[in-house]
Structure 1
Amino acid sequence: MMDAAKTSDDAGVAQRREGMRLLARATLGELSLAWDAIDDKPEVAPVRGPETGLVMVRGKIGGGGDPFNLGEATVSRATVRLSTGEVGHGQLLGTDKARARLAAIFDALFQSAAHRASVEALHEQVAARLDAEDRRKAEETAATRVDFFTMVRGED
């Protein structure tokens, strides 16, 4: 019985993590349109931020070497509490505090059964855009690919 509950919790955490990843990649336009489309908006109170800061980016050569400090990256984050009690967090690369705030709001809304479907629709929209961008980049890269081949030569 305990294993089933843990598996369910793990699935919920993974689903929320994926949702937060998509919200971090969403554009301000996508987030704003989705927010405007919600009719019964709960009141939103800031808990932290939105604020901008720096994080140290670490890397490994070849994925297996010793870690080293690659440099700093600018990030924005926000934490909000909805009037219904849910707390949401938003973190993203860059300095767009409005995006961080909206990402936090949608993370909180994702935890609400009443708004989950609209947030999942936003997730699907962002995922579709990201997939299309990835396909376009792959096609552009494939167009520049050079296939080298060796012809079998006769024995010398």
Structure 2
Amino acid sequence: MSEATAQEAEEIAMRQRAAGVLAGASTAELAECWNAWPNRPEVEYLRGPESGLVMVQGRIGGSGDRFNLGEATVVRATALVRGGGLATECVGTSYVLGSDPDHAGLAAVFQALLADPGQRDLVLQQVIEPLQSRQATVDAGSRAQARATTVNFFTVARENSGGVEEDDE
């Protein structure tokens, strides 16, 4: 793999990670980050935010044949940011599950800021990494709570297979 291709792959992975974090954040968290943003640029929405439906597909057994599971509401937005210390005008797009236009709009703004080389590190440090850390903490708590309620069916079967036999009469 050439150096340019490796850099492109790294850039794509970073943008995908950021898109996932922004989509998983709450509107209040994104608004808090935006309100604290130094030297905010001018924002113009090129598209939306607008709501629509997407068809959600599943797979039998996780890797088998696809089937249509149902529809989900999504909001998409495309934002152009300029000024505010940006080197150039930058465009960002977001797709967010649900029907909150503010969530999609703010996610698109931060995606646009990520496209500016001078703002990328600031967005990663002040927005993406803190949000990702909060999401990881919440996910860890949810996993711990789920593990605490797990039933070991082998243990239950062994406990119930002991010496007393029931009559079926």
Q: TM-score scaled by structure 2?
A: 0.83
CA RMSD of aligned residues (A): 1.7
Q: Distance in 2 between matches of 1:117 and 1:5?
A: 20
Determine which of 116, 120, 126 is the counterpart of 2:120.
Answer: 116
Q: Distance in 1 between matches of 2:36 and 2:122?
A: 9
Identity %: 41
Shift of 1:92: 0.5
Q: Distance in 2 between matches of 1:7 and 1:96?
A: 36
Q: Could you say which residue in structure 2 is the equivalent of 1:127?
A: 132
Q: Distance in 2 between matches of 1:89 and 1:48?
A: 9
AA in 1 matched with 2:149: T
Alignment of 1:40-119 (within 5 A): 40-83=39-82, 84-119=88-123
Q: Distance in 1 between matches of 2:16 and 2:135?
A: 17
- Answering whether residue 29 of structure 2 is matched by residue 24 of structure 1, we say no
Shift of 1:112: 1.6
Q: Distance in 1 between matches of 2:20 and 2:151?
A: 34
Query: How many equivalent residue pairs?
Result: 151
Q: Distance in 2 between matches of 1:141 and 1:58?
A: 26
Q: Distance in 2 between matches of 1:27 and 1:118?
A: 20
Higher alpha-carbon deviation: 59-68 or 141-150: 141-150
Q: Distance in 1 between matches of 2:55 and 2:100?
A: 19
Higher alpha-carbon deviation: 44-53 or 138-147: 138-147
Shift of 1:69: 0.6
Shift of 1:113: 2.8
Determine which of 128, 136, 149 is the counterpart of 2:141.
Answer: 136
Q: Distance in 2 between matches of 1:55 and 1:122?
A: 28
Q: Could you say which residue in structure 2 is the equivalent of 1:5?
A: 4
| Structure 2, unpaired ranges of 5+ | 83-87, 163-169
Q: Distance in 1 between matches of 2:143 and 2:90?
A: 39
Q: Distance in 2 between matches of 1:138 and 1:38?
A: 33
Determine which of 147, 150, 153 is the counterpart of 1:145.
Answer: 150
Give 4+ residue runs of structure 1 displaced > 4 Å after superposition. none
Higher alpha-carbon deviation: 109-118 or 53-62: 109-118
Q: Which SS does the other structure have where 2:39 is aligned? A: coil
Shift of 1:40: 1.2
Q: Distance in 2 between matches of 1:92 and 1:107?
A: 13
Q: Distance in 1 between matches of 2:136 and 2:115?
A: 25
Higher alpha-carbon deviation: 38-47 or 11-20: 38-47
